[in-house]
Homo-oligomer: A and B are copies of this chain.
Amino acid sequence: MNSTSVSTTHNATTDGTPGGAAAETAADERRRTVRAVLDTALAEGRTALTGPEGKAVADAYSIPTPAEGLAECADEAVALADRIGFPVAMKIVSPQILHKTDAGGVRIGLNSAAEVRSAFSAIVTNARAYDPEARILGVQIQQMVPAGTEVLVGTVTDPTFGKIVAFGLGGVLVEVLKDVTFRLAPTTRDDALSMLDGIRAADVLRGVRGSAGVDRDALAELVVTVSRLAADFPEIVEVDLNPVFASESGVMAADVRILLTDEQPAARRRYGREEILASMRRLMRPRSVTVIGASNEQGKIGNSVMRNLIDGGFPGEIHPVNPKADDILGRKAYKSVMDVPGEPDVAVFAIPAKFVAAALEEVGRKGIPNAVLIPSGFAETGEHELQAEIVAIAEEYGVRLLGPNIYGYYSTWQDLCATFCTPYDVKGGVALTSQSGGIGMAILGFARTTGTGVSAIVGLGNKSDLDEDDLLTWFGEDPHTECIAMHLEDLKDGRAFVAAARETVPKKPVVVLKAGRTAAGAKAAGSHTGALAGDDAVYDDVLRQAGVIRAPGLNEMLEYARALPVLPTPQGDNVVIITGAGGSGVLLSDAVVDNGLRLMEIPPDLDRAFRAFIPPFGAAGNPVDITGGEPPATYEATIRLGLEDPRVHALVLGYWHTIVTPPMVFAELTARVVAEFRERGVTKPVVASLAGDVEVEEACQYLFERGVVAYPYTTEKPVAALGAKYAWARAAGLL
């Protein structure tokens, strides 16, 4: 009897994870079982498992599938059905009979031994009549799949993030709606449960119209198990359980499909955390910088970099390298980097691409740990080999590369401007990075016009070596940096980024603008840096899982970066709107909901307290509408109340420009009251929308500089900034 053995152990829906050696052994054993199946398939040159192989893998990992077995006679059929439990389905098994139903070879819902016996005989008779030549191997006896909600559980291998587990509802409608959510594999039980809530149709799983919901624990367990299976075996590129029937009594996968690969991912040199911090420390806090290709000629990059280093006030050593000059901008020039005195921390390259490799070799021999490669002409122009060559040299010597194809970088607290742009000197808490030089210029202009306090601006360009995870690792430790904002088009190593983000997010917010969100955008990314833009749905879910705040656009990234270091962290969910303009109150309420915030239900005593300050026709509740004709005292009294009451966690102010309370009067009183409370240790985020004539612009700048995030002519931006702060506080586990 060449049958797959009937297993009934599959019904266990929990992994049963007892600690210690026993569990170790069980895990080892299941891996050995699957390993054997995979090796056989790959040895036979197959990358898709057969049905029985899929079933064997599922059984090994306790993935519930219908129990089944092959019966060669009616007695075996009855015995199998007895072991499986009624009702069962029965299907003819014959290599010649592909359309089993047409052949009268299928019976379902058989409830007794007698029915099974009679069905066996009928099926075999029908099959013989249908095709007298067919070789009949027997009749498959299969457990009936219990009714339930159709879901899909699967894994894919993403070029950026590797093994990803997917969950969604199954069926035609959901395929159309693409209502699926993703996490890195393996995933935890909590993450798996969050996936059940992460689809738009989540309520279906909880039960609607009085129907029972599904067994959430069993379903989450299945997601964890499948993610573990994919993670355990690099060669499993795809697992597809679709449909899985989920009901209040458990889950069962009706179909198991597993795809393999025999390709190995390329290795790259990896640096440990301490190595990263050591070289990054010297990059961001150098004592000595050398400029390869420094020049006296205006308009040359090597001239701009030299001037910016000098004009920016960098207090360390600056050593120009130029074989044809004795001095550059009054500094002694060296023929070769080998001649530069001391131990430079950074070599800035301002020479054409074709000369980079040779100079980099010297930088390596000199023991300089960081090469900042401004020149373009590498992978972004199709010169992949040239880029591979410099990467190989860098790996050989352990030199870290920034770029190539970048504008350079700023480290403001060191007064370091190693760029061909212009110096920037407003020191502050935000570190900004960009993959694109154009976006870097926008960062600089925005920062300058808004007076944003910056700790660093770094161009990443082609990311031949140093990338976002290295920078995250450093900025996470850098005491000057309170917030990190990154523009990126791809991630070279999504898992390393997630790991660095998870390390950093509990300490400080990380804002990401992921360009190439849309299909058109992704196509443009492909032609820009040769980056393979991942599927945005995967990026979105995985970045959220990593606790990153995703900015919807460039302007939002810049505004969040400006606002987040200014705002204190909220201590709870209760947001109160205090507004002098009812119309602003309505729009601010819209914005509160849009940004996932919660308008506080004002308790009666607090409502009475607010009412004491506002006209009888003003509206308490939330928004607190103090009405438009009120004097400064009304704004002040109500703001005080909001800051004073410990049940209120954040304030959104709506100011209306009137003769009675002019913009700067409002700004001064608000800044004063907020400062007074902060001195008393009451730190609540306060944001403001100022509706009025142009004087509100000055008032907003005044407020921003004093820790109140304020914007003119918009009700959305201040609330979006508050929303970003809340999103971070939640991701950091502070709420």
Residues of B within 8 A of A435 (CB): 583
Contact between chains at A692 and B441 (CB < 8 Å) = yes
CB < 8 Å neighbour of A625 from B173, B420, B434, B528: B528
Give the shortest distance, in Å, between A1 (CB) and chain B (any CB): 37
A584 within 8 A of B: yes
Contact between chains at A659 and B299 (CB < 8 Å) = yes
A581 within 8 A of B: yes
A441 to B587, CA, bound (A): 15
A101 within 8 A of B: no
Given the known A-B contacts A201-B173, A589-B524, are A696 and B554 also in contact in the complex, defined by CB atoms under 8 Å?
no
Contact between chains at A694 and B449 (CB < 8 Å) = yes
Give the shortest distance, in Å, between A105 (CB) and chain B (any CB): 24
Contact between chains at B553 and A591 (CB < 8 Å) = yes
Question: Which 9 A/B pairs are nearest by Cβ-Cβ distance?
Answer: A436-B583, A438-B581, A381-B617, A521-B590, A528-B582, A518-B593, A442-B691, A438-B656, A555-B714
Contact between chains at B449 and A697 (CB < 8 Å) = yes
A581 to B442, CA, bound (A): 11
Given the known A-B contacts A445-B696, A581-B438, A589-B520, are A714 and B169 also in contact in the complex, defined by CB atoms under 8 Å?
no
Which of A299, A524, A588 has the most chain B CB within a 10 Å cutoff?
A524
Contact between chains at A555 and B693 (CB < 8 Å) = no
Residues of B within 8 A of A154 (CB): none
Contact between chains at A175 and B693 (CB < 8 Å) = no
Residues of B within 8 A of A523 (CB): 589
Contact between chains at B691 and A587 (CB < 8 Å) = no
A619 within 8 A of B: yes
A309 within 8 A of B: no
A713 within 8 A of B: yes
CB < 8 Å neighbour of A583 from B420, B437, B552, B697: B437
Question: What residue in chain B is nearest A202 (Cβ atoms)?
Answer: B176
A526 to B616, CA, bound (A): 16
A393 within 8 A of B: no
Give the shortest distance, in Å, between A176 (CB) and chain B (any CB): 4
Question: What residue in chain B is nearest A583 (Cβ atoms)?
Answer: B436
A717 within 8 A of B: yes
A494 within 8 A of B: no
Interface string of A446-469 (1 = CB under 8 A from B): 101100000000000000000000
Question: What residue in chain B is nearest A201 (Cβ atoms)?
Answer: B176
| Residues of A572-598 contacting chain B, CB below 8 A | 577, 579-594
Contact between chains at B438 and A654 (CB < 8 Å) = yes
Give the shortest distance, in Å, between A490 (CB) and chain B (any CB): 10
A400 within 8 A of B: no
Contact between chains at A691 and B593 (CB < 8 Å) = no
Contact between chains at A587 and B515 (CB < 8 Å) = yes
A382 within 8 A of B: yes
Contact between chains at B623 and A590 (CB < 8 Å) = no
A319 within 8 A of B: no
Residues of B within 8 A of A437 (CB): 581, 583, 628, 656
Question: What residue in chain B is nearest A659 (Cβ atoms)?
Answer: B299
A585 to B552, CA, bound (A): 16
A616 to B15, CA, bound (A): 58
A667 within 8 A of B: no
Contact between chains at A554 and B715 (CB < 8 Å) = yes
A517 to B523, CA, bound (A): 34
Contact between chains at B520 and A713 (CB < 8 Å) = no
